[in-house]
Amino acid sequence: MKNIAFVFIVFISFYSCNDGKKSKSISVEKKVDQQLHQEKTASSTIVDTTIYAERGLQYALSAQAVLGKNLMQAIQKDGTIGALSFCNERAYPLTDSMAVVNNVRLKRVSDKPRNQDNQANAVELEVIETYKNTIANQEAPEPLVQTSDTGVQVYYPILTNPMCLQCHGKPKNIEPSTLKKLTILYPKDKALGYDLNEVRGIWKVTFNN
């Protein structure tokens, strides 16, 4: 009887030990699975961020090219005054139409806006400052990607060129008739005093969730 009891106890002990090892094995497997899932998620996030950056940059540069082409046509037809009329009347609708086509929200914002609707908010001001430092260090700007509850935002700088300075340069270098028209169209205009290759603002492309 004692021998039977002893065998029974040994059997129970052996089973309990194996059961403990089995539980530990399952626990380790769960940790490995969780780690793999986290790594996979992180990897996907990196890929998605890259895709958003590429697409956002494409949409921003496409919009900029279309606006620039129309602006040049307006200048060739009616001079700088014609360019002001284009910006005042057609720039917004044209930008909005391109946003609809690409299924994004597309906007230009600045720390020194001509139209007060383009005033940058706190987050956008930080992005503008970042790009100013990038340009000051003579580095090539790259699209910046941020995520929020409202979607994914991609930013890219708007740099001044000779055409921009006809309306955004130093007042002493702008034609008097142009300055007068600016005062009429934009009484609160802040978008003056720029030199070549300065950050005049940023494109903001928002991909909806």
Q: Is residue 179 part of a domain?
A: yes
Mean pLDDT for 24-38 is 47
**Residue 110 per-residue DSSP state:** B
Q: Is residue 87 part of a domain?
A: yes
Q: Is residue 139 part of a domain?
A: yes
Mean pLDDT for 2-19 is 41
| Minimum mean pLDDT range among 86-90, 161-165, 188-192, 194-198 | 86-90
Cα–Cα distance for residue pair 96/107, rounded to 1 Å: 8
pLDDT at 60: 96
Q: What is the mean pLDDT of the chain?
A: 83
Q: Which domain holds residue 78?
A: 56-208
pLDDT at 26: 45
Q: Give the CA diameter of the chain.
A: 116
Q: Is 182 helix (H, G, I), strand (E, B) or coil?
A: helix
pTM above 0.85, yes or no: no
pLDDT at 30: 53
pLDDT at 40: 41
Q: Which of 181, 185, 149 is nearest to 166 (CA)?
A: 181
Cα–Cα distance for residue pair 20/64, rounded to 1 Å: 65
Beta strands, E only, the chain: 105-109, 144-148, 151-159, 199-208
Q: How many domains does the chain contain in total?
A: 1
Q: Is residue 178 part of a domain?
A: yes
Which pLDDT tens digit goes with each residue over 50-69? 999 999 999 999 999 999 99
Q: Is residue 77 part of a domain?
A: yes
Tokens of 120: 């940058």
Q: Is residue 61 part of a domain?
A: yes
| Minimum mean pLDDT range among 28-42, 92-106, 151-165, 176-190 | 28-42
Q: Is residue 39 part of a domain?
A: no
Q: Is residue 72 part of a domain?
A: yes
Strand 199-208 and strand 151-159: the pairing is antiparallel
Cα–Cα distance for residue pair 87/80, rounded to 1 Å: 11
